[in-house]
Amino acid sequence: MTKQKLVLIGNGMAGVRCIEEIMKIQPERYEVTIFGSEPHPNYNRIQLSNVLQGATSIDDITINDWNWYKDNNITLFSGETVTNIDTIKQIIYSDGNRKVEYDQLILATGSIPFILPINGADKKGVTAFRNIEDCEKMIEYSKNNKKAAVIGGGLLGLEAARGLLNLGMQVDVIHLAEYLMDRQLDPTAGKMLQKELESQGMNFYLGKQTQEIFGETDVKGLRFSDGEEISADLVVMAVGIKPNIQLAKNSGIPVNRGIIVNDYMETGIPNIYAVGECAEHREMVYGLVAPLYEQGKVLAKRICGLKGEAYEGSVLSTKLKVSGVDVFSAGEIFEDEKAKSIKEFNEWNGTYKKVMIRNGKISGAVLFGDTKESNNLLSMINKNAEVSEYLIAGTSEELSVSLVSAMSNEEIICGCNGVTKGDIVSAIESKGLTSIDEVKSCTNASRSCGGCKPLVGDILELTLGDDFSKSNQKESICTCTTLTRDEVVAEIREKNLTHTREVMNVLGWNTSDGCSKCKPALNYYLGMIHPVEYEDEKESRYVNERLHANIQKDGTFSVVPRMYGGVTNPDQLRKIANVADKYNVKLLKVTGGQRIDLFGVEKDDLPSVWADLDMPSGYAYGKTLRTVKTCVGENFCRFGTQDSIGLGIALEKKFERVGTPHKVKMAVSACPRNCAESGIKDLGVVGVDGAWEIYIGGNGGTHLRAAELLCKVKTSDEVIEITGAYIQHYRETANYLERTSVWVERVGFDTIKAVIGDKQKRIELNQRLNEALSVLQEPWKEIIESNAIQTDLFQKVKIPVISNK
Amino acid sequence: MGKTLQKIKVSTVNEMPKNLGKTVTIGSHEIALFHLANGEFRAIENRCPHKGGVLVEGIVSGDHVFCPMHDWKISVVNGEVQKPDNGCVKTFNVAIENGDVYIVL
Ligand SMILES: Cc1cc2nc3c(=O)[nH]c(=O)nc-3n(C[C@H](O)[C@H](O)[C@H](O)COP(=O)(O)OP(=O)(O)OC[C@H]3O[C@@H](n4cnc5c(N)ncnc54)[C@H](O)[C@@H]3O)c2cc1C
Ligand code: SF4
Ligand code: FES
């Protein structure tokens, strides 16, 4: 089947947007051809103001580059103007001597800037402000000339004037009315705007009619109707636009001010449609992109043969793109017999607000100085809200986030691109977006004028909301990189990276040496991934783990020998007492984890303290298994049904020393009285008659969390097997420094339960854990036996007082 | 005051592992001496301006040390505390001669 031929005349914002919509609905239906007079691919005309003001460059305002046309099989004839349409034979003719047949034809010829019919309007140095060439011309002129005059104190004129100021020119703005932006603002707001812009350096001639532009071939100045003259080397005319309808008119397509279209953008001739600034709908011609995009959507459905909603016109809203000035206007703005207003004028802060009410409904608004309410007001105007609704919203001083939460899914957030709240929310949810930029590239929201950026931010916040911790995984591991934990781990595995510096280099860290967050994290991930080969980097360890003792606030250390399951004996107690005496230990304390802590040991004494103790390191400092707290259990307690001490010791001996993302605490109680507090441990075991219950994800710290029942098993061997799988799964999937309580919530208890419940996975997890456990050594012993480590890490240099005469 | 500068030998290049600090006390001065990844040596006072944390035990990255107490980031080159925190620690000159490390005081 041959494709139908669709031709678009006008490679501008409205027309191409409509093609994009068609591509979304039925990419295969048409063979598309586009004609554009301008030599550029489709660009964002709105941004010309920002180009002139220096906020962006011409290169950056392309919406669809040449590749887009190629990739979508669109034939583009740029720099070519369509001169005639044969509406009977359905053929168009261009000034490039081209003849193209069409089945469907869209006219989107935009408008042409209105040039005042005065003497001298054709002199060199007079320009409109409509396209890239105009913009380049102004930039070029500003290099060698000082004085610019802008005729027209509307939106476009003021944006041009601001740009020319930025380009280093002196700027006079000539405006026919008595105040600025008289179409969008009332006199109060217009005067406030004038004052603000004067303070930025603009000079105004209000109530002035330009009669003549004088000079030889080049512009020299302007003469007003009252005889006054000013000098100027550059004159920008920004007095309005008129729909570009010449082609349509010549081809017999019915026109009035613009090309007349119905609610489906159909012209009076079959198979010919019009959208954009060239179209006249219900006697309205629109000059802003938001309505044009709405039209484009309606037309796209029409052309794809879908029964879509009709276009019923748009409420116009305006924002001035001049930095330091916040102006907003929408809907009707002038009071009359029937339309009343609520006004707030704060001369001190320079803010003004006027809300228009017609028949008890919000019908328009003007904001100056503070435009935070603009989106809210616009949506009320659009839905014809009762005045009471506005008053309630106004008094409760709602946060912006709750404002977006009150919006319905159909409400438009990005007017320019017609993106609704629902579109954004579903994109965030389905594609896991977390930043405004991602939303922008995914939904087009805030791609044009950017005015809705704050709202998009609010929606992100609202949508991610409580799940923000869930989205933590998408956060980069620190400011040295944009990569997330998962990405880093995947890259380490894939590229077989073996060294923290290597990871930083290969993965493009933006610091050469990392920071106190990524260095320990990378060191952990590398060790987790290559348990046997990886050589732990001491310099990437936090001091406690580097020195295997707890640093105290005065720079001394505390030493905690291991007492498996909290059980000790007279021999150990004697040794501890002797060491405490010998090294003048400042404090001896039984800790919450059932051990004895010796406080106040100097760094250089640590190795000999350990040697004298001759006990294993208790790891009171590590990101590893700290203690297994146990209750008294069956041998002594009258309630005990199981050997909690025995199991606690077995667990501690089996899992000690292995590195985990954060500290891990365990406990074993022999009955549900739970004297070992198993309910708030990373892993808690509770004995019941003939079985053990295993709880996970508990925490007794700042964020108290009760552990959840993972399973119930019969034997202590099974407890050890489950615990091994659980620890290894945590080691492999948690973020560095993420406690199990947070990890369980992020990953989901059920997901973890499913992994550990899977026999095969459980075996594999235990195998990997055993491999990691196999290479671990008792650190205190290692240090006592190594002079090199002692000098490198523990020795202090002491030079006695020196004479200094 | 007529004080003359003294060069005091404190270590040798070989004895100083990279990216780690060594505590050096000279009279009443307690100094943190660092051997940076780029091979340079730097010496600063061993007290964090925040709450007196011992900087010698901090994680060293490039020209900075992160205080082990509350993670303030401090330049080992000029002793300046990095934003958002404020303060400064004293720095000492280090000289290397024939593989020996000297602090100039
Ligand atoms: C400096 C500036 C700032 C603006 N700022 C804003 C703003 O902040 N917010 C806002 O909403 N709007 C703004 N606008 C208005 C907005 O850019 C227009 O409303 C929008 O571009 C109109 O789209 P369109 O497709 O109808 O016309 P255009 O984008 O003008 O596209 C029409 C295209 O058709 C081509 N064409 C015409 N006739 C033919 C032919 N016979 N054959 C081939 N090609 C032809 C033209 O060359 C042109 O490229 C601004 C406009 C300008 C100039
Ligand atoms: S938990 Fe039960 S068995 Fe253990 S000490 Fe307490 S009461 Fe006794
Ligand atoms: S003491 Fe150094 S950061 Fe607090």
Higher pLDDT, A394 or B12: B12
For tokens 């802060």, name the residue: A349
Nearest-angstrom CA–CA distance, A76 and A74: 6
pLDDT in tens, A424-463: 988 888 887 877 777 877 787 877 666 677 788 788 888 8
CA A573 from centre of chain: 58
Q: Quote the pLDDT of residue A418.
A: 73
Instruction: Quickly state the pLDDT bin for A470 (edges 50, 70, 90).
Output: very low
The whole-number pLDDT of residue A375 equals 78
Tell me: pLDDT of A397 over 60. no
Judge contact between B21 and B58, C-beta under 8 A: yes
Residues A570-617: tens digit of each pLDDT:
999 999 999 999 999 999 999 988 999 999 999 999 999 999 999 999
- Segment A513-536 mean pLDDT: 93
pLDDT interval class at A805 (50, 70, 90):
very low
CA dist A618 and A548 (Å) reads 9
**A residues 490-529 lying closer than 8 A (beta carbon) to B:** 511-516, 519-520
User: Tens digits of per-residue pLDDT, A537-583?
Assistant: 999 999 999 999 999 999 999 999 999 999 999 999 999 999 999 99
User: What is the pLDDT at residue A450?
Assistant: 64
Name the minimum distance, in Å, from the CA of B6 to any CA of chain A.
8
Question: Mean pLDDT for chain A?
Answer: 90
Strand boundaries in A121-220, DSSP class E? 126-128, 147-151, 170-175, 203-206, 210-214
* Cα A413 to Cα A32: distance, rounded to the nearest angstrom: 30
| Residue with CA nearest ligand 1 atom 10 | A288
Q: What is the pLDDT of residues A28-37, one digit of tens each?
A: 899 999 999 9
Taking an 8 Å cut-off on Cβ atoms, the answer to whether B25 and A520 are in contact is: no
Mean pLDDT of A701-709: 87
Q: Which tokens is A437 given? A: 């930029």
- pLDDT of A747 over the 50 cut: yes
Which range is most confident: A497-501, A719-723, A794-798? A719-723
Confidence of residue A398 (pLDDT cuts 50, 70, 90): very low
- Residues from chain B that touch A479, judged by Cβ atoms under 8 A, are none
pLDDT band at A804 (very low <50, low <70, confident <90, very high): low
The answer to whether A264 touches A299, Cβ cutoff 8 Å, is yes
Chain B contact present for A256, CB below 8 A: no
Closest chain B C-alpha to A637 CA, distance in angstroms: 42
pLDDT of residue A219 exceeding 60? yes
**Do B4 and A799 count as a contact with CB atoms less than 8 A apart?**
no
| Sequence-ordered strand ranges (E) for A334-473 | 339-346, 351-358, 361-368, 412-414, 419-420
CA-derived radius of gyration, chain B: 13
Q: Indicate the average pLDDT of chain B.
A: 91
The pLDDT score that the predictor gives to residue B3 is 61
Instruction: Give chain A positions within 8 Å (CB) of B51.
Output: 553
A17 pLDDT above the threshold of 80? yes
What's the pLDDT score for residue A401?
A: 58
Give, in degrees to the nearest 5, the angle at Cα A550 between A545 and A551.
Answer: 105
ipTM over 0.85: yes
pLDDT digits over A135-153, tens only? 999 999 999 999 999 999 9
For residues B68 and A259, what is the distance between their CA atoms, to the nearest angstrom?
Answer: 72
Percent of chain B with pLDDT strictly greater than 70: 97
User: Is A108 close to ligand 1, i.e. is its CB under 6 Å away?
Assistant: yes
Closest-CA distance, B12 to chain A, in angstroms, reads 11
Instruction: Report pLDDT digits (tens) over A730-744.
Output: 999 999 999 999 999
Amino acid A468: pLDDT: 39
Angstrom distance (rounded) from CA A243 to CA A249 = 11
Q: CB of A94 closer than 6 A to ligand 1?
A: no
Nearest residue of chain A to residue B33 (CA atoms):
A797
pLDDT of A103 > 80? The answer is yes
> Is it the case that residue A536 has pLDDT exceeding 70?
yes
Q: Is the pLDDT of residue A395 over 70?
A: no
> What confidence score (pLDDT) does residue A565 get?
95
Would you say residue B33 has pLDDT above 70? yes
**A218 secondary structure, DSSP code:** B
pLDDT score at A448: 65
Flag if A796 and B59 touch (Cβ within 8 Å): no
Given a cut of 60, is residue A473 above it in pLDDT? no
Structure-token match 């609010």, residue found:
A458
Confidence of residue A467 (pLDDT cuts 50, 70, 90): low
User: Which-ligand-closest: CA of A632?
Assistant: 2
Q: Is the per-residue pLDDT at B49 higher than 60?
A: yes
**What pLDDT is recorded for position A802?**
64
Is B54 near chain A, with CB under 8 Å?
Answer: yes
Which ligand is nearest the CA of A630, by number?
2
Q: Which listed ligand is nearest to B68 at the C-alpha?
A: 3
Please name every residue paired with A62 in a beta bridge, in sequence order, or none if there are none.
A43
pLDDT band, very low/low/confident/very high, at A1 (cuts 50, 70, 90):
low
CB nearest to B26's CB, from A542, A546, A799: A799
Cα A673-A679-A682 angle, rounded to 5 deg: 145
> Is the CB–ligand 3 distance for residue B53 below 6 Å?
yes
Predicted local distance difference test score (pLDDT) of residue A459: 85
List for chain B the helix, strand, coil content (%; round to 5): 5, 45, 50
DSSP code string of A69-133: HHHTT-EEEET--EEEEETTTTEEEETTS-EEE-SEEEE---EEE-----BTTTSBTEEESSSHH
Q: Residue range A188-201: average pLDDT?
A: 93
pLDDT category at A248 given cuts 50, 70, 90 is very high
Of A156-160, A228-232, A427-431, give the lowest mean pLDDT range.
A427-431
Task: Provide the token pair at A522.
Answer: 């990378």
pLDDT-derived band at A472, boundaries 50, 70, 90: very low
Instruction: Say if B26 is an interface residue toward chain A (CB within 8 Å).
Output: yes
